[in-house]
Structure 1
């Protein structure tokens, strides 16, 4: 208990800053009341002296280093200040030079801007003239091919012109668009009329359209079917008409079905199938329009049966002769489906 009280007293005296009391308490703690413990005083004094010397050395070291560090920091700050002043002077000089240069170059910039505007205007005119020249060149090529009866090449060039027409739709040059469309329309009509006429002649040789069932057609079609040149011409003309598909869609307004059907928009019937459907369309309108006895509103089964019969009569020919041509030509079109779709359009038109 006495030792605890003594320790508390030493700590309290130390905290209060009473140095003599602290020393007295420290000696009391280390030596105590035992006289034999006085032998420790020499060692204690030696230890305290050594601690004192170490503390003095540390104080001297710190006292000598801190001014050096402060002096070094002040020197660095002074150098930084000088560099900053130099940079500010350079910035001021550079700013003045730039302003002077801009003032000197301002008239040149205005003249250069005007020249650039003129160059851009000339480039637009040049591009416009190039388009005109290209259209005229393509038109001349079509004319030359037609004069030499090279219809396939003429049809290919017309297809290319139709693609150019589509690309030009984004242009604001209305006169150029009108000129392109008029040129495409002119040659499209000539080629379409010629190819349609030739195609109809080939179909007539095949006794198209087939009014009777396939079994009854065999005898009548046996001889022309054995002539390979007829089907070769059929394939050639069919493919040439396909080349006019793009220009035909470009020039022909798509047929709009009445809104009451709620049917999605469908692509146009391909051009050669349109030609093949023409005689059947005439027959349908003749029998099921106007004041004909076959046009009875209470007998829809009459025209529906007729359409189904036509589809059945032509299915074999479409599958065996037309579908291979389409597969070879590239477009993913089903001949029988396209033919049936064209006939169903007649039914929808009548119901409208």
Structure 2
């Protein structure tokens, strides 16, 4: 079979031959050289083709032999696999009763182990409680209580969970009362509540260390979140503060109640600026101490949701909000009875003082919270406010 050569290839070959032969027709030496060169190349190509043709049958035969050998091995493996499969099925069939019996026994063992763990958890509680009763070291008591809290987190349902929760609640109350007493003793040494004049005289270092330790203990004995019930104030929508802050607020709440409720002269309902100003003063006097001595303890314990300064301020603001709500209600009552001469003027004065309180509060705390404005925006109060503004 011969391949057809196109015209362009022919032209290239002729041009190449003309260049090699030259233009002298009497000198054909170059033509003889070209002929010899082409003969050599032809012989080489023919030799290569003969060798290739001889190798093809040999390689093909070798490949067929290998394929047959592989096919035989595959069939052998299939047979072995089938034999092994039959043996396995036979073994499983023979051992099925034994395996069923073993499964039953392992199940029984697992149940016994779970029962043992269950009983040991009760035993652990029974061991902790007497130890805590005999312990006089606050640190050790808090650590033991921490173990109870961990068990409370671990056991969520069933009789055991209820049992642990009761113990946690029981010891929480005991430790809270005990540590609160110690905390209040330290607060007396710190001259709490603080007055503006006392800020220039820092408390003794050992007292601050004791205060810091007790603050940490109080944080640690907080009941688990699922046991902690939050009460929300009607006037300021805030969760109950943490235990250390609640104790810090107690003497201030007592003073607020003493001075601004009842029949005392300082509790006059036509002078809301008195309790509003006092609330601002207490916030200014105390929030720095809370920030520097209480919040760092919470941060070290990684209590990310505890913002002690905000909680402390919110506790004081809630006192003012509740009193303001009461005062505004008394305006209506005493105005009806004729005990208050100009109810509208008193109401307008209270609104002005409340707005001023809010502005000052934002300046002091750096936060624009709801504060006592929620009292003014209650439906009945807000309607009355609009009515007074129109007069």
Which TM bucket (shorter chain)? Answer: 0.5 to 0.7
In 2, the alpha carbon distance for the partners of 1:70 and 1:205 equals 105
Q: Deviations over 1:282-337 (max 9, x none)?
A: 33345545787766666542321121233456579x48xx9558768956999876
Structure 1 residue 249, shift from structure 2 partner: 4.2
Go from structure 1 to structure 2 and tell me whether the alpha carbon gap of 1:240 and 1:174 turns closer, same or farther (over 3 Å shift).
farther
In 1, the alpha carbon distance for the partners of 2:182 and 2:142 equals 14
In 2, the alpha carbon distance for the partners of 1:201 and 1:246 equals 19
Q: TM-score, normalised by structure 2?
A: 0.56
- After TM superposition, the structure 1 = structure 2 runs for residues 154-303 of structure 1, keeping only pairs within 5 Å, are 154-165=141-152, 167-168=153-154, 171-201=155-185, 203=187, 209=193, 214=197, 236=210, 239-240=213-214, 242-250=216-224, 252-258=228-234, 268-271=241-244, 273-288=245-260, 299-303=271-275
Structure 1 residue 102, shift from structure 2 partner: 1.9
In 2, the alpha carbon distance for the partners of 1:51 and 1:241 equals 103
Equivalent residue for 2:121, pick from 127, 131, 134: 131
In 2, the alpha carbon distance for the partners of 1:177 and 1:111 equals 34
In 1, the alpha carbon distance for the partners of 2:49 and 2:283 equals 116
Does the aligned pair in 2 maintain the 1:199–1:237 contact within 8 Å?
yes
In 1, the alpha carbon distance for the partners of 2:118 and 2:215 equals 31
Does the aligned pair in 1 maintain the 2:132–2:141 contact within 8 Å?
yes
**Where does the alignment leave 5 or more consecutive residues of structure 1 unmatched?**
1-9, 12-39
Structure 1 residue 277, shift from structure 2 partner: 2.1
Q: Which stretch shifts more, 46-55 or 331-340?
A: 46-55
**Where does the alignment leave 5 or more consecutive residues of structure 2 unmatched?**
6-30, 326-374, 376-391
Q: CA RMSD in A?
A: 5.0
Which is higher, the Rg of structure 1 or of structure 2? 1
Does the aligned pair in 2 maintain the 1:196–1:275 contact within 8 Å?
yes
Q: Which stretch shifts more, 112-121 or 330-339?
A: 330-339
In 2, the alpha carbon distance for the partners of 1:326 and 1:280 equals 19
Structure 1 residue 243, shift from structure 2 partner: 1.0
Count how many residue pairs are aligned between Structure 1 and Structure 2.
Answer: 292
Does the aligned pair in 2 maintain the 1:155–1:240 contact within 8 Å?
no
1:304 pairs with 2:304: no
Does the aligned pair in 2 maintain the 1:159–1:246 contact within 8 Å?
yes
Question: Which residue does 1:85 correspond to in 2?
Answer: 75
Q: TM-score, normalised by structure 1?
A: 0.61
Structure 1 residue 104, shift from structure 2 partner: 2.0
| Structure (1 or 2) with the greater helix fraction | 1
Structure 1 residue 343, shift from structure 2 partner: 1.4
Q: Secondary structure at the match of 1:255?
A: coil
1:112 pairs with 2:102: yes
Go from structure 1 to structure 2 and tell me whether the alpha carbon gap of 1:120 and 1:346 turns closer, same or farther (over 3 Å shift).
farther
In 2, the alpha carbon distance for the partners of 1:194 and 1:176 equals 27
Question: Which residue does 2:315 correspond to in 1?
Answer: 342
Go from structure 1 to structure 2 and tell me whether the alpha carbon gap of 1:174 and 1:53 turns closer, same or farther (over 3 Å shift).
closer
In 2, the alpha carbon distance for the partners of 1:305 and 1:76 equals 103
Structure 1 residue 134, shift from structure 2 partner: 1.9
Does the aligned pair in 1 maintain the 2:231–2:239 contact within 8 Å?
no
